[in-house]
Structure formats: C-alpha cells, structure tokens
Structure 1
Amino acid sequence: MKIVLHTYGSLGDLHPYIAIALELKARGHQAVIATAGFYRNKIEAAGLEFHPVRPDFPTDVEQQRELVRLIMDKQNGTEYVFRQAILPYVQETYADLMSAVRDADLLVTHPLSFAGTPVVEKTGIRWVSSILSPMSFLSAYDPPVVANFPSWLNLRILGPGFNGALIRLAKNQFSSWDEPLRQLRTQLGLSPLADSMFEGMNSPDLVLALFSEALATPQPDWPKQTCITGFTFYDRNGDTGLSPELASFLDAGDPPIVFTLGSSAVWVADKFYLESAKAALKLGYRAVLLVGNNNPSLPKELQSKDIGVFDYAPYSELFHRAAAIVHQGGVGTTAQVLRSGRPMLVVPFSNDQPDNAARITRLGVGRTIDRDRYTASRAAKELDRLLREPGYQAKAAEVGTKVRAENGVKVACDAIETQLKKDKNPTFHRVPASPV
C-alpha cells in the first residue's frame, strides 16, 4: 500500500521517518517522505520516494544560520517555530500534502504537521500521528522542563493539579498563535477544533511515541491510543560511514570525548567547540569535535594530535567508541547516546532540549550545563564526575542494553500495518470548539 510520511525540521525530525519508510519499503509497501525540498537528495539517495511540501528552507548559508539562530533562541525559539516558520505557510502545506496523499492508503504525521488534520478530515485517509519526544504530550503528571522557565522551578514537586492548570494557561496563550490554521479550516468548511495545536494533532486511532520507555513511561493524561515503540534509528549520509581519517584517529589512542551539536545547533555554536577543546586538554583526554560544514578551525594553540576536528560522522559508529559524549540534547542525538551505553553531558539550547536534558539527569546517565554557562572549566568539572564516578558508567551501560534490545522500527511498522487493515473512515470525528 502507499504510505505517506510527513515531517518537518532538522535531521532529528527526518531520520526517524526515513527509518520507518525503509522498513515499510522492505515489507513491500510504497513509502513516500513528504517534507521540505531541501531534503530531496538525501531522501532519494536512501532509495525512497520524495514529495516536496512547503515551507522549504533557505539555500543561502547566512540565511540558514539566521533561521537556526531564531529557532534556537532560549526565550522565543519555540514561538518563532510556530508563528513564523510553520503556521504562516499552512495553506501551502495543506495544498502540497493533499497532492502527496493522492491515491495513498495512510498518512503518518509529525508533531508539527498542522495541515495533516484538515487533510485527513477532507479525504478520510487512514491516519497515524507520531511524537518524537515526551515533552510534546504536555503531561501534568510528567511536566515538561521549558527553556525560558527559571532553572530552580521544579514542576514535578507541585503535583498534577497545579501542573494541569499551568498547562491549560499555556495552551490558552498558544491558541492565539493558530489564526492561520483557523482561517484554513474556515475556508475548507471545517468546524473549529477545541485544541487544534495539541490534542488536534493526535490521531484518534493511533499515536506512535517514537522513543524508548527509558526516556518516559505512559502517563494517565497521555492519549489512550499511544504506542511507545522505542527509538527508530537512522544516521546515514549516503553510503558514508566513518571517514578514514576519523577511523584512524579512533584507532590511534584511548576512547575520546565526543563533542557534537547535532545538525541544527551546530550552526550557532559560538564558543562551544573552543571551550570543549580546552576542557578535553584540561582533563588529559583526546577529543572528537563534530563541527559541521560551516565552523572555523581551532586556533593554533589548541590544535593537537589529540584533538580531532571532523565535519560529520554517523553516531551509531562513533558513540560506542567514546569515553563520553557532550551534545545539545536533541532527541535524535540523545537516542544515539543512550543506545551507545556511554555517559553524557547535555548543553541544551531550546525547544525540547532542556526537557530531554532533565530526563537524562533524572535517569542517572548524564549531567547538564546551561548553554550560557558552558565554559572549559565547568565542562571539565562535569565531565570529570561522569568519567570518574562509576554510577554514571554503570547506569549508562544498563540503559544502553535496554535501548539496544528494543526494535522501534519493527514496532512502529507493525502498528502501521494494523491500521492499514482497518476500513477508511469517511467521517472524521473531533470535539468542536466551544462557541463561547
């Protein structure tokens, strides 16, 4: 059958769906990734079908950097994503996605697929929604850690009653952001939804939570139709594995500390890699710095045979060879570190990263430093604890065993195939918004 998977965002938002699409294709289905045209070459190189869906990303390097800077802003990054990067284009997204699902049997949506619900309502197509990180559930029982909240504010000790009221207040604020979506629904003759940006994004039949139970367990206020699959891993860049230079570096000495900022925060690294190199030298450890394609080289005083600077490496081939990993806390990177069984230091920027960092700390497999406080001395101090206290090593190894035993791709595809066996629902039932 034809299955369309719609996603938008960084590689952390794309890779889980490529993993699922490849398995669906191996099972004999026609899997189509519908996303920004920016990713066409990567998707087609993986042997998958591609359908462009607006909005696209800028092609100019400086415009890309500015976009990431706005998205990663601690105070306003999440608001920018909703109000500037996605929702103003929801009519174009809807038109492109309607084209993508023509003759399709099922649609899989990303948490930011705001056009997905209207497409389902207009077409009656079978629908599976998905969540990449636990924060998206906004649970009063497992409250999120938000980037612009004070670091001392611990909502977990306040209880679900207080947290539920706080989340409702937050949703009321968010409701002012979705005017483009309300306009689209009016133009399409669809009734307004009570909560179009949150519950409205959840399929009434199946919500795939594409993460491990090591990161979060089901809560009473999660959608009852949620299936936790485990992580769905993919990290290829064409056919490229470890570069010969990186492989040689790893073979030449003790396991290094790996420093990475994923595929987005790397664009706004500032002094992260400079301070990281200093921290590694201070500790007497070798280091691998994954700096992307647009970062300057280290100053001469920090250039050393023990500091390897590389643009990219597949995490699945690198992390298990590290002593520890320092990263930005994106859920895709976090998943790969958990699978590796190595302890981690998280330096969260924005969006779901602070929440992922808090979960890692509570799990006992890592520690956290605020992005604005990341210096060589602080990083060295935190890394010294991770590397010397056996509890972190033991817990990371234990969780790594659990994550490696999961098969998120299989569980997700089995659940999708179950939905494919169901009849289409020509009438899509949603609770309408109150007229008051």
Structure 2
Amino acid sequence: MSRIVLATIGSLGDLHPKIALGLELRDRGHQVIFVTSKQYCERIEFLGFEFHRLRPDYISPDDPQMLALMMDTRRGTERLLRDYIFANIRDTYTDLLEASQGADFLIVGEVVYAGRLVAEKLGLKWALGVLSPASFCSVYDPPVFPGFSGLEILRSMGLLPNQAIVTLGQWMTRSWSAPLHQLRQEIGLPPSGNPIFQAKFSPYLVLALFSPVLAAPQADWAPSTVITGFTFYDRTNQSANLSPELEQFLAAGDPPIIFTLGSAAVHDPGDFYRVSLEVAQQLKRRAVMLIGNNPPPPELPDTIKAVDYAPYSKIFPHACAIVHQGGVGTTAQALRSGHPTVVVPYSHDQPDNAARVERLGISRTIPRDRYTTHQAVQELSILLQQPAYAAKAESIGTIVQLEMGEKVACDAIEKQLTLKT
C-alpha cells in the first residue's frame, strides 16, 4: 500500500475530479490524503479520507465581491494567479510540505504551483493533474485566452501566428510568479521557467483528466502526458440522487432547458437567472434553474423550477439543452449527458472550453456581456430546431460514457509507483 497525497486549490470543479481519483486509488488499496481548502474538510472527512488544510483558502462563497473579481473576463485569471496563488505561495508550500512527509507519491492540481517545489525538496515522484486542454498552451492547438476570444481567428492562419499568441501570454504573465522564484532560491532549488506555461509539468506523469474528444495530443505537450478521459464525481454528503420534488417535476412534462453556472460563477450570476427565466418563457419551454445560494427569480411559473443544487449526472440526462458557464466539470457532465449546450463563458479556461465544444458541432457560445434575452432565444432556437446538434451531441455522449478516466489515471499512477527512479 502506498501513501498518496492529492492536493488541489479551487472550486468543486477542481476538487471533484480528484475525489474520483481518490476513491479509485483507495479501492486499489492505497492510503489517500487530501490537502485542500478548509471549506472542504467536512466533505473529505465524510468520505473517510485524511484531510490537511492547504492555503490560500480565504476566498469564500460568502464574499461575492471577491469572487466577482476572480471571475472577471479580462482580469480574473491575473487576479487569481498573481494576487491569490503566487502572493500566498509560501503558505501553500509550508502546508503541502508538512502534509507530504512520508508520502510515496504526490498528485497536484493545476494551480498548486508549490507542488513541484515540495516534490523536488523531498525527492518525491509527482504528477500534475490537468483538467482542461487550455492548460497545455500548445502552439499547435492554441487556447482561447479569457478576454482575447477574437484571437481565435488566428488558429487557421498557421503556426507562426499561434506561436505569437502563446508568446504573448508568456510575456504578459512573466512577472506574476516572482514570489515562487524567490522561494525556490531561498530553499536551495535551482531556477525554473514560467510555471504558468512550460515549467509546471511533471517529468514523471501529467494526467490530462479530460476526454480526447476535446483535444488530441500535440507535439509540444509534455512527453509524460497521458489522456485519461474525464473523472466523474458529483454527489453531496446528503444524497447522490435528485429530490422527490424535482423528480416529480421532470416526469410531469417535456424535457426542460437546464440553466446552471457551476460551482464558482454561480456566486457572481449578474442577470443570468433573470434573463434565463425570460428566455424559457419566450421559447415556451420548461426549465430547471440551478441557482446555488441565490434567491430564485420572483413569480416563477409552474413550468420553471429553481433549486439550489442537483447532481449533474442525474439531472442533465433529462434536459433538451443545457446552458452553462463552461467550467470543465460542467462541460464534462454536459458532454456525457449527450445533449447540446449553450455556453456563457466567464473566465479562466471557460472561453477555451466553449470554443472546443462549439467546434465539435454540439454547442453555441454567447459571451457573458452579451447574454441577453434576445441573443439567448436566438441561439437556443438554432440549437433546438436543427437536429444535427442533438445528433452529434448524442454520438459524443456515447463516447464519453464509455471512457474510464479514473481507471486509466490510476493505472498510470501505479505504473509510476512500480518504476525505479
């Protein structure tokens, strides 16, 4: 039995794929330790895992102003990485170093940049878990950077323009990670490159925890990369099923449109739910709105249901279409459901995820600042009236349903455990 540390920072969309890995690793006889934000302590311990706190974790759902800054389309990623992750890198390093004592293997999420430092300091093998294709920043398959979606037109213009896009991203972020470089020097580690781009990948194993329908391996990906397929987990501590009231609503009529903003953007909804109500009414469609802690729109008709949360794996299969923010966890569940989508991306990887599912022929995209009743009605009408969208979504859903992401990922991890350094 190996002692394996799983470390992640972020929303439930970041945590849930790691829980799926943890459950599979535990089923295989390994001891799994979770190192993550304090707000997930109860969730992790409910599942019977050892929990250690990982800072920074002071952003709370009770602080919508801070969350709004982090989800801003143009500057949200800068604020998240420069002002939150790198500004607190010493705390992250301290917490993860302590939790990793005696470990046999370390798995870190995308923004746990201290993971490489801890692994090098302790002489640990480690893996990076990448949730979305944008993380690779490939010049052969360039991402759509938040706030720069117009640059996607350069994709078809050859390698040089795409190299320029990635180089621009490296230049714009070059100073963000200064605290990490300073810490490396202080603890006696050699200099490294930009951790947002080339210097974040593990030489042992990079787990691309997404479906190959979203992206194929590229020549400039890390050689240690394994595409596993999505790893799914979405239950709560209380139940993995829909409420009887919601079950009754779903059974009482035609498949509804489902409107959701995932687990992060839901704390900064703006007019999303008000507009969505008007959209459903104009289209004369039943709808379910997953609203989190937000108040439901007033005077909901009987054809529209608003609930705080429902497991996507249980409710998405009942939809005729899904309107969501484009987080990779939500995107994965929508793909698996086999239903077409409209994506309203906020920030981070969401614009790139939106572009990828649109290129698959199963989705339409509406920028956040253009999510109006008129625009959403227009895009949903196209989606629902052209059978090709539903047919293609169904075929892709079949592919994703057959994937075994947890097993492929854990096979790759166990292979590393048996290999001598």
**Would you say 1:397 and 2:388 are equivalent positions?**
no
Q: Secondary structure at the match of 1:253?
A: coil
Alignment of 1:343-358 (within 5 A): 343-358=340-355
Alignment of 1:170-209 (within 5 A): 170-209=169-208
For 1:66, the equivalent position in structure 2 comes to 65
Give the AA of the match of 1:40. C
For 1:333, the equivalent position in structure 2 comes to 330
**Would you say 1:25 and 2:26 are equivalent positions?**
yes
**Matched-pair contact (CA < 8 Å) for 1:143–1:155:** no
Q: Runs ≥4 in structure 1, deviation > 4 angstroms? A: none
Residues 247, 112 of structure 1: alpha-carbon distance in 2 compared, 3 angstrom cutoff: same
Alignment of 1:158-237 (within 5 A): 158-237=157-236
Inter-partner Cα distance in structure 2 for 1:358 and 1:324? 17
Give the AA of the match of 2:188. G
Inter-partner Cα distance in structure 2 for 1:155 and 1:146? 13
- In structure 2, stretches of 5+ residues that fail to align are none
**Matched-pair contact (CA < 8 Å) for 1:22–1:48:** no
For 1:16, the equivalent position in structure 2 comes to 17
Aligned length: 419
**Would you say 1:305 and 2:306 are equivalent positions?**
no
Residues 334, 41 of structure 1: alpha-carbon distance in 2 compared, 3 angstrom cutoff: same
Question: Out of 412, 416, 420, which is 2:413 matched to?
Answer: 416
Measured against aligned partners, the alpha-carbon deviations of 1:17-47 in whole angstroms (never above 9, x if no partner) come to 0000011011110011111111111111222
**Would you say 1:257 and 2:257 are equivalent positions?**
yes
Give the AA of the match of 1:222. W
Give the AA of the match of 1:149. F
TM-superposed CA distance for 1:366, in Å, is: 0.7
For 2:107, the equivalent position in structure 1 comes to 108
**Matched-pair contact (CA < 8 Å) for 2:177–2:194:** no
TM-superposed CA distance for 1:422, in Å, is: 1.9
TM-superposed CA distance for 1:58, in Å, is: 4.0
Residues 164, 60 of structure 1: alpha-carbon distance in 2 compared, 3 angstrom cutoff: closer
After TM superposition, the structure 1 stretch with the greater mean CA deviation from structure 2, 209-218 or 370-379, is 370-379
**Matched-pair contact (CA < 8 Å) for 1:10–1:264:** yes
Q: Secondary structure at the match of 1:364?
A: coil
For 2:56, the equivalent position in structure 1 comes to 55
Inter-partner Cα distance in structure 1 for 2:39 and 2:359? 37
Inter-partner Cα distance in structure 2 for 1:60 and 1:29? 33
TM-superposed CA distance for 1:146, in Å, is: 1.7
**Matched-pair contact (CA < 8 Å) for 1:87–1:180:** yes
Give the AA of the match of 1:392. Y
Alignment of 1:342-381 (within 5 A): 342-381=339-378
TM-superposed CA distance for 1:70, in Å, is: 0.9
Alignment of 1:114-153 (within 5 A): 114-149=113-148, 151=150, 153=152
Q: Secondary structure at the match of 1:4?
A: strand
Inter-partner Cα distance in structure 1 for 2:154 and 2:324? 25
**Matched-pair contact (CA < 8 Å) for 1:140–1:159:** no
Give the AA of the match of 2:54. V
Inter-partner Cα distance in structure 2 for 1:153 and 1:215? 16
For 2:42, the equivalent position in structure 1 comes to 41
Q: Secondary structure at the match of 2:52?
A: strand
Question: Out of 319, 334, 338, which is 1:322 matched to?
Answer: 319
Inter-partner Cα distance in structure 1 for 2:114 and 2:146? 27
TM-superposed CA distance for 1:161, in Å, is: 2.2
TM-superposed CA distance for 1:195, in Å, is: 2.9
TM-superposed CA distance for 1:150, in Å, is: 5.0
TM-superposed CA distance for 1:309, in Å, is: 0.5
Give the AA of the match of 2:264. S
Give the AA of the match of 1:122. K
TM-superposed CA distance for 1:67, in Å, is: 2.1
Give the AA of the match of 2:131. L
- In structure 1, stretches of 5+ residues that fail to align are 426-436
Q: Secondary structure at the match of 2:33?
A: strand
Inter-partner Cα distance in structure 1 for 2:39 and 2:58? 6
For 2:94, the equivalent position in structure 1 comes to 95
Inter-partner Cα distance in structure 2 for 1:391 and 1:35? 42
**Matched-pair contact (CA < 8 Å) for 2:258–2:287:** yes
**Would you say 1:288 and 2:288 are equivalent positions?**
yes
After TM superposition, the structure 1 stretch with the greater mean CA deviation from structure 2, 114-123 or 149-158, is 149-158
TM-superposed CA distance for 1:196, in Å, is: 3.1
Give the AA of the match of 1:140. V
Inter-partner Cα distance in structure 1 for 2:23 and 2:15? 12
Give the AA of the match of 1:146. F
After TM superposition, the structure 1 stretch with the greater mean CA deviation from structure 2, 395-404 or 28-37, is 28-37
Inter-partner Cα distance in structure 2 for 1:23 and 1:224? 25
Measured against aligned partners, the alpha-carbon deviations of 1:87-132 in whole angstroms (never above 9, x if no partner) come to 1111111111011111110000111111011111111111111210
**Matched-pair contact (CA < 8 Å) for 1:113–1:201:** no
**Matched-pair contact (CA < 8 Å) for 2:144–2:151:** no
Inter-partner Cα distance in structure 2 for 1:147 and 1:92? 28
RMSD of Structure 2 on Structure 1 (CA) = 1.2
Inter-partner Cα distance in structure 2 for 1:376 and 1:197? 37
For 1:4, the equivalent position in structure 2 comes to 5
TM-superposed CA distance for 1:166, in Å, is: 3.0
For 2:403, the equivalent position in structure 1 comes to 406
**Matched-pair contact (CA < 8 Å) for 1:130–1:202:** no
Inter-partner Cα distance in structure 2 for 1:9 and 1:117? 18
Give the AA of the match of 2:354. A
**Matched-pair contact (CA < 8 Å) for 1:38–1:57:** no
Scaled by the length of structure 1, the TM-score of the pair is 0.94
Inter-partner Cα distance in structure 2 for 1:395 and 1:170? 33
Give the AA of the match of 1:245. E
Inter-partner Cα distance in structure 2 for 1:170 and 1:349? 18
